[in-house]
Structures are given as C-alpha cells and as structure tokens.
Amino acid sequence: EVQLVESGGGLVQPGVSLRLSCAASGFTFSSFFMSWVRQAPGKGLEWVANIKQDGSDKYYADSVKGRFTISRDNAQNSLYLQMNSLRVDDTAVYYCARYFRSPADSLYYVDYWGQGTLVTVSS
C-alpha cells in the first residue's frame, strides 16, 4: 500500500525557515517524480514544486521560487521542502504527492497524496 506521511508543519513567525518532510512507503520511491502541493485555508489547490527521480531537475511555482527548495533522499525514501523567508501568505496545508509521469505513453497525473501538514505563518 502506497503511503505518504508528511511532518514538520507548525506555527512560525514571518521571515523564519521551516523544513517539511515526507516519508514514502509501499512503492519504489526512486522511480517516481514527487510533488509538493499546498492549500491555503478555504482556498483551492496550488502546485508548489516537483523533483525528478534522481533529484537532478527541480521545478517551482513563481510564488515560492528563490525561497523554497525541494529535495529528496532516495536511500531514506524521503522528500523534503525547505521553506525560507516564510510569509503570511504561505499559510496552508502542504501535501506531499506522487507524480506519475510517462512521456512515452503521454501519461501524467498525481495519483497518491499524503494527509497534509499545516504550516501557519503569523506574528
């Protein structure tokens, strides 16, 4: 059974840093792109970042580029999101998700999601 379990959320002040973690199990973690997606309270879904299987390519939303860094440790089956210079509008539930990507078959979708971890940025 695929499981994605996020941790590391909490209440922080504007300007500080926070690191989210996602522990993956039930699949070959090193074979999949991974994603972070967030959802502000009462709002819609916002894609945040993607990382390639070997960590060599990373992609970011403009809203977090230069402040957030996605990374992974395939030996530990773990995904991370380092969030620096946090702002009030970064307040959201952050989801770790598995991104299935098969260009040869023109198939792209996010098929598994964690339960999310809440990050609240407030003074």
Partner 1 sequence: DIQLAQSPSFLSAFVGDRVTITCRASQGINNYLAWYQQKPGKAPKLLIYAASTLQSGVPSRFSGSGSGTEFTLTISSLQPEDFATYYCQQFKSYPLTFGQGTRLEIK
* Chain positions contacting partner 1, by CB under 8 A: 35, 37, 44-47, 50, 59-62, 95, 101, 106-111, 113-116
Name which of 12 and 48 has its Cβ closer to partner 1: 48
CA distance 89 to 3: 28
Name which of 13 and 100 has its Cβ closer to partner 1: 100
From the CB of 38, what's the least distance to partner 1, in Å? Answer: 11
From the CB of 121, what's the least distance to partner 1, in Å? Answer: 21
From the CB of 68, what's the least distance to partner 1, in Å? Answer: 13
Name which of 44 and 75 has its Cβ closer to partner 1: 44
